[in-house]
Structure 1
């Protein structure tokens, strides 16, 4: 990881951390999910830079080494999009391929829809492009569903606050690596779903955990709970959510997101291609929610094949 450069860009009144590697003319922008930060793309950055691409992996505002906004509870997805455009402008980057994971898929496709001249193609890991209306998973899942708990102001803050940041990240990585949706009972919190004796996934080292833990110790979780969990009902005024650029969805078959109501049917029935006609879908039988860290060589190969075929 020593070869990855760590730069800081000041735009829109905040200082953003941007990890960068490679000097190619084709730029690949990596967008992380939660509880991830730039570091979750370490394997992909090295592989793509070695293949001749320039890679950029920013930490969103309030995440990782980027500045925490003055009012984290007011952060929106619109802020994330505006930040990304400002960062690219500052770096003199006019067009990118976007690779996104988890909730990073939303800003990836919003960037494509709102600034179509800036995006050559989109690769998403673990989630497809979805209709832009409010999410309604809570209507068919119990009250203990982790997203419902984390959307409730103060609930997750109190739950997480019982532990240090490293333990919170550890618990989330363990929970999200399973194939079942994290749902707490009425008399327990989400963090209580993981026993301290449960080991980390075999592909996630103590060094990895220490890196994440230190970064969340700095940033805290306030902005991360606001975006994505408390910001999904934003209206972007997009009348046509059709995406015309080439796209690839890499979906782990053991990803718990597959168990969300309607998701498997949405992806496998072809509905996902109604909004993204030029979409290819690749299923990884053993893939979990963190498949880019779990099986980096496999994911790297799929990303490189997509990029090289579109140049």
Structure 2
């Protein structure tokens, strides 16, 4: 599988961004945007599926992640940069219009790109995070909630620094694949919520863990903690947003994010329809936060169906 996917770097907006690519663009291009603690590799199953169906698949490592360059430490991390990076990739590769697929925090620039650049977007499919016209508010969550912990300067660095990179990625994958929100008790840190005796999810192999750990050995966690956790309050605010392109939302019902304040209500109440008139929502009953890796065949079928429905 790894031999089929090509890897390149593009110097864009002052950074060398790493792109994984496969496919010939007979029917169009699909750009995949990952979340945390992911990198391009999280999309390996979907990339090969869309390539086999006649599409070109492009999965960048987000700036500061994996094999992409780190911005300077004194440069403020912004969500607008992620949208601008996608536009720069399309312009550099002379691609006019794409489907966007986003997962976790990668859903946010996917939604934003579709709103800002409908003329460059054929459709957007997102997993795990519903659209919000403004920043999420997690202040009602307990103090030990992982996002509240990780948005504190240096706290996650100290927590993670007790372990090697492989152990950190392993622990996060274990915690984030559960249906319960990761919340530490008093006197605990987030890394204390699992240990080496805790098994990996059955769909996530030691080889997969090696692939993630190798790339985080390069990037570390300093910048990935800036986007998303320490910049959530600076999420783009949209005034009366209206999607002009099809939007497809996929949510695992065992995804712990489903328990975030307002998330389930936003999806089941029809609120998202006010922003996206051409909206489709599909629930995966046993789907976790990593549904695209957990149930790749099911997600591939949903994705290919979405692409074919909007030629």
- Is the pair's TM-score, using the shorter chain for normalization, greater than 0.5? yes
Q: Does 1:100 align with 2:136?
A: no
Going from structure 1 to structure 2, the CA distance change for 1:102 and 1:236 (only over 3 Å counts) comes to: closer
Which residue of structure 2 lines up, in the alignment, with residue 86 of structure 1? 88
Which residue in the other structure is 2:182 paired with? 182
Q: 1:63 aligns with which of 54, 62, 65?
A: 65
Q: Describe the shift of the 1:129–1:182 C-alpha distance in structure 2 as closer, same or farther (beyond 3 A).
A: same
Q: Are 2:221 and 1:221 aligned?
A: yes
Change (3 A) 1:98 1:74: same
Shift of 1:238: 3.5
Gaps of 5+ in 2: none
Residue 8 of structure 1: SS of its match in structure 2? strand
Tell me the alpha carbon deviations over residues 217-264 of structure 1, each in whole angstroms, 9 at most, x when there is no partner: 100011110001111222646423221211111111100011112211
Question: Which of 114, 117, 121 lines up with 1:115 in the alignment?
Answer: 117
- Secondary structure of the structure 2 residue equivalent to 1:289: coil
State the shift of 1:72 in Å.
6.8
Q: 1:236 to 1:130 in 2, by over 3 A?
A: closer
Give the match for residue 166 of structure 1: 166
Report the TM-score when normalising by structure 2: 0.97
Q: How does 1:185-204 map to 2 (within 5 A)?
A: 185-204=185-204
Q: 1:73 to 1:202 in 2, by over 3 A?
A: farther
Shift of 1:157: 0.8
Instruction: Specify the SS of the correspondent of 2:124.
Output: strand
Match of 1:137 in 2: 138
Residue 208 of structure 2 corresponds to 208
2:121 paired with 1:125: no
Which position in structure 2 is the counterpart of 1:47?
A: 49
Instruction: Name the SS of the counterpart of 2:227 in structure 1.
Output: helix
Q: Aligned equivalents of 1:107 and 1:86: distance in 2?
A: 13
Question: Distance between the aligned counterparts of 2:214 and 2:202, measured in 1?
Answer: 21
Runs of 4+ in 1 over 2 A off after TM superposition: 233-240
Aligned length: 309
Query: What SS is found at the alignment partner of 1:34?
Result: coil
Residue 3 (str. 1) matches residue 1 (str. 2): no
Q: CA deviation at 1:135?
A: 1.8
> Within 2, Cα distance between the matches of 1:16 and 1:310?
29
- CA 1:129 to 1:13, structure 2 compared with 1: closer, same or farther past 3 Å? same
- Contiguous gaps of at least 5 residues in structure 1: none
1:72–1:226 Cα contact (<8 Å) kept: no
Alignment correspondent of 2:247: 247
